[in-house]
């Protein structure tokens, strides 16, 4: 229903649907009206569902995508960190299996004088959510007022928290609709969804971690590259210094997949240890984030080994009510899968392991579902490692042992032990390329 019975509408939704259905181009005023009318309820879900399918099938040009992004951005408030007195830089990942990079990355970047306003989300399906992971820490709270966020950025240089409902509310409506209409993968809709929120956050610079491969949102590197180029252009057009790294998600990132266990692994990285791939990507993204705000010639790795990044972590966790020294949740039940033969682990597909962790309780099927913070999978070997018969390959953790059977079904055939010298199917280097000026 329209909020105003007497309002004369500038356009008709059916005309716009026809235009995009027939591969036409929508004008800036048409897109502005469509998003506004949908946000206030004049355009119904059934009409917007038809439009999203038309966009999915026929695409949008760069100008249309920019207009869509700005219309969604202008549907709500826009934050500003102009008074901080330090440059702001942020990171967004398109999501993957074992992707806990935000946790060590935020304090690492904050060490060097940049402020990191990291507004994060929750997991859905096989991709984990940063807020779910951090809520494994006793007392930690995700929801801060704008004043609390600003104060924390000023004092410690970093924050990870939930985005307020006032940022790009049109995206919230549209995202929920896309999820149930088979249009999630449309690049114009993905790009405008991500970038409207990120631009609304008010950061001065943004690095995009756009993943490809088995466990990624978009499996094909060409599609991921197209998405990266589209989002970088949107950021630059909006005056936000933006770049992207295309990163490999054919195998899980790190050794932990879940919530509490990913926090443990992140703390290991902040202590100067942790898996090599997590460290590599954390350092690469930190360098990129700092470079975009003009902070170069700094020894990023040293902040992980000398305790500076760990000190930042402890400060920001305490600032949000968390206890960085408190024990993290531990599952009541575990199930260990061992190697059946000697050889080399030549395959470990990310997506099935992500689904396995989800079935153990680490993820949610619906946004309102709770997660089990102690549930997940801990890997004991990565592709290329030599293993012996009887050696643990991975451990499943859950509070209910009846969950193990379905998790084991998910990972069946997703890993393979081969002979020494057999090619390892890892999909190539972790960082495939950089996109941006």
Question: Does CATH place domain 13-59 in 1.20.970.10?
Answer: yes
How far apart, in whole angstroms, are the C-alpha atoms of residue 263 and residue 160? Answer: 13
pLDDT of residue 2: 43
Q: Give yes or no: 211 in active site.
A: no
How far apart, in whole angstroms, are the C-alpha atoms of residue 280 and residue 431? Answer: 9
CA-wise closest residue to 426 among 355, 349, 354, 351: 349
Q: Give yes or no: 171 in active site.
A: yes
pLDDT of residue 368: 66
The predicted-structure confidence for 339-386, as pLDDT tens digits, reads as follows: 999 999 999 999 999 999 999 999 876 666 788 999 999 999 999 999
Indicate which residue of 178, 287, 373, 403 is catalytic. Answer: 178
> Do 117 and 280 form a contact (C-beta atoms < 8 A)?
no
Sorted by where each begins, the domain ranges of the chain are 13-59, 82-326, 333-418
Q: Judging by DSSP bridges, how do beta strands 333-338 and 116-120 pair with one another?
A: unpaired
The predicted-structure confidence for 147-191, as pLDDT tens digits, reads as follows: 999 999 999 999 999 887 788 889 888 887 887 888 888 999 999
Q: Give yes or no: 266 in active site.
A: no
Q: Which CATH class is domain 333-418?
A: alpha beta
For residue 94, give the 3-state DSSP assignment.
coil
Which residues of the chain have a pLDDT value below 70? 1-6, 123-128, 365-368
Q: Give yes or no: 342 in active site.
A: no
DSSP state of 164: P
Strand residues in 185-321 grouped as ranges (E): 205-212, 241-248, 256-258
> Do 127 and 95 form a contact (C-beta atoms < 8 A)?
yes
Q: Give yes or no: 100 in active site.
A: no
DSSP state of 404: H
Q: In CATH, what is the architecture of 82-326?
A: 3-Layer(aba) Sandwich (3.40)
Beta bridge partners of 417: 345
Which residues have CB under 8 Å from 429's CB, separation 6+?
248
How far apart, in whole angstroms, are the C-alpha atoms of residue 222 and residue 188? Answer: 15
Return phi, psi of residue 190, to 5°. Answer: -65, -50
Indicate which residue of 99, 171, 277, 426 is catalytic. Answer: 171
pLDDT of residue 3: 46
Indicate which residue of 197, 225, 312, 364 is catalytic. Answer: 197
How far apart, in whole angstroms, are the C-alpha atoms of residue 212 and residue 253? Answer: 12
pLDDT of residue 354: 94
Indicate which residue of 75, 93, 193, 397 is catalytic. Answer: 193
């Amino acid at each position: 229903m329209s909020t105003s019975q007497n309002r004369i509408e500038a356009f008709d939704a059916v005309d716009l649907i026809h235009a995009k259905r027939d591969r036409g181009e929508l004008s800036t005023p048409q897109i502005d009206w469509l998003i506004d009318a949908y946000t206030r309820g004049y355009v119904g879900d059934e009409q917007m569902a038809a439009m999203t399918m038309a966009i999915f099938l026929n695409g949008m040009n760069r100008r249309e995508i920019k207009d869509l992004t700005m219309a969604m951005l202008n549907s709500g408030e826009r934050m500003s960190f102009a008074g901080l007195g330090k440059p702001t830089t942020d990171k967004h990942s398109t999501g993957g299996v074992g992707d806990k990079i935000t946790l060590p990355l935020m304090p690492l970047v904050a060490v060097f004088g940049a402020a990191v306003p990291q507004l994060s989300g929750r997991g859905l399906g096989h991709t984990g959510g940063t807020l779910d992971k951090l809520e494994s820490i006793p007392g930690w709270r995700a929801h801060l007022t704008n004043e609390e966020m600003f104060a924390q950025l000023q004092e410690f240089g970093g924050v990870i928290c939930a985005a307020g409902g006032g940022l790009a509310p049109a995206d919230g409506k549209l995202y929920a609709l896309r999820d149930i209409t088979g249009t999630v993968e449309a690049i114009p809709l993905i790009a405008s969804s991500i970038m409207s929120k990120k631009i609304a956050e008010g950061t001065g610079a943004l690095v995009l971690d756009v993943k490809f491969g088995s466990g990624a949102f978009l499996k094909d590197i060409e599609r991921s590259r197209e998405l990266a180029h589209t989002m970088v252009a949107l950021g630059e057009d909006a005056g936000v210094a933006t770049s992207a790294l295309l990163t490999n998600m054919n195998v899980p990132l790190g050794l932990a997949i879940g919530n509490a266990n990913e926090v443990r692994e992140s703390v290991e990285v902040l202590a100067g240890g942790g898996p090599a791939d997590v460290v590599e990507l954390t350092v690469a993204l930190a360098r990129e984030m700092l470079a975009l705000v003009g902070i170069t010639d700094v020894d990023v790795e040293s902040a992980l080994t000398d305790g500076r990044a760990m000190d930042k972590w402890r400060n920001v966790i305490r600032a949000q009510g968390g206890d960085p020294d408190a024990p993290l949740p531990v599952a009541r039940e575990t199930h260990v899968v061992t190697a059946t033969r000697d050889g080399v682990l030549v395959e470990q597909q990310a997506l099935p392991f992500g689904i396995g962790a989800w079935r153990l309780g680490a993820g949610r099927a619906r946004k309102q579902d709770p997660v089990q913070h102690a549930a997940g999978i801990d890997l004991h070997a990565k592709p290329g490692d030599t293993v012996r018969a009887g050696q643990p390959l991975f451990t499943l953790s859950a509070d209910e042992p009846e969950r193990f059977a379905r998790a084991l079904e998910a990972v069946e055939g997703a890993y393979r032990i081969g002979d020494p010298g057999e090619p390892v199917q890892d999909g190539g280097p972790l960082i495939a390329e950089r996109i941006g000026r």
